[in-house]
Homo-oligomer: A and B are copies of this chain.
Amino acid sequence: MNLADKITLCEVGPRDGLQNEARLFSAEEKVELINQMMEAGFKVIEVGSFVSPKAVPQMANTDEVFRALKPPADVELRALIANARGVDRAVECGCRKVKLNVSASKAHNLANLNRTPEESVAGFKECVDKAAANGIAVSGSISMAFGSPWDREIPIQDVKDIVNAYLNVGVTEISLSDASGMAYPSQVYNMCTEMMREFPQVEWWLHFHNTRGLGVANIVAGMEAGVRNFDTSFAGVGGCPFVPGAAGNVSTEDVVHMCDEMGVKTGIDLDKAMEISRRVAELVGHPTDSYLLRAGKSKDLIRELPKGQLKNQVKAK
């Protein structure tokens, strides 16, 4: 099985996880959690988004959170933005990395925004230039890359067209995202293999939701294809915009645990990550989709042997 020696996880819980929660987290709570994450070994964290506070009140305090954080040089704190105003806010609060997103659904983009996804990405040029002028790095995301509720299947050529549009505006770090929870392992493997072959200059990320229980299998498939960067969310919080009550992003601790077992390095301290996730589960106040929080680590399952046949325990050593 062709796996990785080492992968990078981006903790997207503070953004994609918490934006799906009814409870609004205070800036202090977020800062405390993110500081704990940095201590647990996370090197990439999606802190929040610079979008309309009316549309996403859960992210209204993102600027405040950034101002309070003092990341070391090797930690990347990123924020999702929708337009150039997002870059302005990033500049103002000291955020050094922003992420843009476009949906891969041509039909939905045309019906909703009157432009194709490539046209939307071409329109990101202003953001990218403004970010560059301010020393802020930019990555791009393609949501619904593995299927959309409006098209069902997205032709791989459509995704390639969007990648080219990103490259045209100077974005070379690109995330393929499955916000609709429709991705499946063979598709992930094939799409990633093809994308990595055609665009070797791109730094790829994968972003899976566990909507239909395939998130972890999709990560393994992506790893087999050669991708080394994956988004996960503490305690598995998050959701699916199309399916009320669906499971959220793949749980960080479930993925770190699997990687620990497989000898794939993440640099993350699992015990500390689980502590953070336990705290998040407590704060959101409802059960979340984390297996590790329910079952604990395999390593912790060790039980005493029954005492009935003590002499045999020596024989078994």
Query: Which A residues form the contact surface with B (CB < 8 A)?
Result: 1, 3, 106-108, 110-114, 147, 149-150, 152, 180-182, 184-187, 189-190, 210-214, 216-217, 219-221, 224, 240, 242-243, 245-247, 251, 254, 257-258, 261-263, 291-292, 294-299, 301-303, 305-310, 312-313, 315-317
Q: Which residues of B contact A299 (CB under 8 A)?
A: 152
Contact of A309 with B3 at beta-carbon distance under 8 Å, contacts A240-B295, A295-B181 already known: no
Q: Which residues of B contact A187 (CB under 8 A)?
A: 261-262
Q: Which residues of B contact A113 (CB under 8 A)?
A: 309
* CB–CB A316/B3 < 8 A: no
Q: Knowing that A110-B312, A185-B262 are A-B contacts, what are 8 other residue pairs whose CB atoms are under 8 Å apart, sorted by A's residue number?
A: A1-B224, A107-B317, A108-B306, A111-B312, A150-B303, A181-B295, A220-B220, A242-B301
> Which among A185, A187, A262, A308 has the highest number of chain B CB atoms within 10 Å?
A185
Task: Name the residue of chain B whose CB is nearest to the CB of A112.
Answer: B306
Cα A215 to Cα B189 with chains together (Å): 19
Q: Which residues of B contact A261 (CB under 8 A)?
A: 184, 187
Q: Which residues of B contact A216 (CB under 8 A)?
A: 213-214, 216-217
